Structure 1
Amino acid sequence: MADKQVLVSGASVAGPALAYWLARYGFDTTVVEIAPALRGGGAAVDFRGETHLAVLERMGVLDRLREVQTGGSPMTFVDEHDRTVLHLPADFAGGDVEVLRSDLSRVLHEHGRGQVDYVFGDSITGLTETPDGVDVTFASGARRTFDLVIGADGIHSRVRALAFGPEERFVSHLGYYVASWDLPADVDVPAGSVSYNVPGRLVSTGGGPDRPGAFVAFKSPRLEYDRHDVAQQRGLLVDAFRGMGWRTPRLLASLEHTTELYFDSISRADVRPWSRGRVALVGDAACGATIGGMGAGTAVVGAYVLAGELATAEGDHATAFRRYEDRMRDYARRCQKGGDRTGKFLAPASGFALRMRNGLLGNKFLLDLMLKVGKDITNKIDLPDYAHAAA
């Protein structure tokens, strides 16, 4: 088989899932991750519908994920006096299986690490395609040549920037920012997710006494900041939520002590096509929405299809990349559209919009219809069985 040496950038969700399948089909696979180890923290992600569960089952991780699942978290919205204004059931956000992103990454990594070479604490700084492969330069100074390079490195993909062009050509800001961080163990956090809104802003606690955490969202035009400067991000959050009541002052004060802060815009990646020569994209790098776009499910499905098509095409990457995108593009775009509405759901911009959200989602018939439509979207794909391609 040609094109057997594959470099995958990113060890969050799409990367480890893809690496597992590639190794199973006989590819020599290396995963490079800029972080020094698997990342901790992070919000919960969910899988919903038969397609997501079928891929996890075929991969052999569904039972393990069920062991570490959160059980889903009902969402309660309250006023400043803690009186409930809206309550949503656990399956609204939790789907069929909900796990913390860090637990998902760990399970996927453990499942394939015996067959995959993982390199932590390094990143790709240069890509040069030749007729026979891709010459790769790493931040460590190392240089290696691979047959194929796959960007599974998220919505701010470095591989996409190097091989396709600058981020602003592909990533659209959707008008909101979100952040999450762990809270000290002595902070009293009620069970489930409890949220407080004012127009354009949301403050939420969740996780319960074992893993208390904070989550916030706020409406804002695009901000200029350094994604690696945590102190600057803390300052942006303090400015955005200054003067807000409820538990907000206490939660903001806890920022000084957190070791893991996630801060990002709600954005959408739109790339066409998903491959260029010997380089391809999968997951959020190709078709992500920061939050609310069923990104974890799309990532594992996309990884399954990409690896399967490469195996079926016997390493003919041009054919495999085309078939992969033909199968996945419409499916991914339908799932991705949910991210366009996430900010408006979390932090409606006006008092009228807040009342409208609470009224509509408080209607059980409409809520059940929304859940059904969401699950139907995840199932609208002809999912091949690539078992015949296993090494």
Structure 2
Amino acid sequence: MDTALSEPASPVAAAGSTVVVCRALAASQHVTLGPLKLDCGVTLDAHRVAFRTYGTLNADKSNAVLICHALTMDQFVADPHPVTGKPGWGDTLVGPGRPIDPAKHFVICANVLGGCMGSTGPLDIRPGTSEPYNLSFPVVTIGDMVRAQAALLDHLGVESLFCVTGGSMGGMLVLQWAATYPERVFSAIPVATAARHSAQNIAFHEVGRQAIMADPEWHAGSYIKHGTRPARGLAVARMAAHITYLSEAALQRKFGRQLQGKDALGFGFDADFQVESYLHHQGKSFVERFDANAYLYITRAMDYFDLAAQHGGSLATAFRGSPTRFCLMSFTSDWLFPTAESREIVRALNSVAANVSFVEVESDKGHDAFLLDEPEMLRTLAGFLRGAGNARGLKP
């Protein structure tokens, strides 16, 4: 059934999660677009996209680069976060002299549909009411997120992207872009990702969701109405997920079995070990900038992603005849999105004679390596973009 929902109102300025959205909107560019038909059958009569741009679109509109963010990231890829004040999450990737340089590229990064940093999501006021959508917000998919981004590009007058890139969930968005809008994507760089979520990853996400929903302050998703936040549940979800972003070698190197601020075991259940204290910090800092219901929705979108299933069970069919130049990257110690999953995509691309290159980066930093200063990754990105730029006719 195709159900229409009218334009979402902006989030109310209330304590907790909605304050995050209001600050994000104040620091972002944002536009209301629509209508948008979702994969679940619901149509949003309008939807808001919050985004950031860096650099200038050139005269022939050939230098646009779309950066797709990961699950817990947002549009603030290259400038300070409006809530935490921390530098942009992609400051090793974007900036003067970086592989993606606003002096050469027109850089776009948008908060995904269903997110909590200004784009339409469960925090928005449901039309015709004074209450947030909460769990009445329709379930969204990676495909829905990409269609919202495409509508944003239409609004910005960008018909074709020089490059679309992203890691983890961002890599899923890249693959969806290349499969859905091949004529709009000159080059694509999916990093540390997969063409579908594995059973293991779905399982980890379900643990996180259950932690949130088990928090007595969640109130079946209506925590704003009750003046509460499921902070403990969301913190546990973040702690569990963060373990999957690292490798055993990285955890051992950074923490080992070192004690936190003490010389002997405490014989209790406070944080004795540095790794425990680290995870507590990750959980606490996360709840300051993220919304619990948005976490439910975005993790569900990742779980539902299966590019082959969208094309009759054939991943190769998703890329047949594609004009896009691909460069895939994985990391040797990434057990969340292991190299085998990138190789599966490469094989599918090769089977339809697509233009594809692949690099497995040697790193012991785990999945989060794509967010860090990994010289081989950055050299590969820079080299690929330089070659693609020459083919595109961009000025060096």
* Class of the TM-score when normalised by the shorter of the 2 chains: under 0.3
More strand by share: 1
**Structure having greater relative contact order (Cα 8 Å, sep ≥ 6):** 1
Q: TM-score, normalised by structure 1?
A: 0.24
Q: TM-score, normalised by structure 2?
A: 0.23
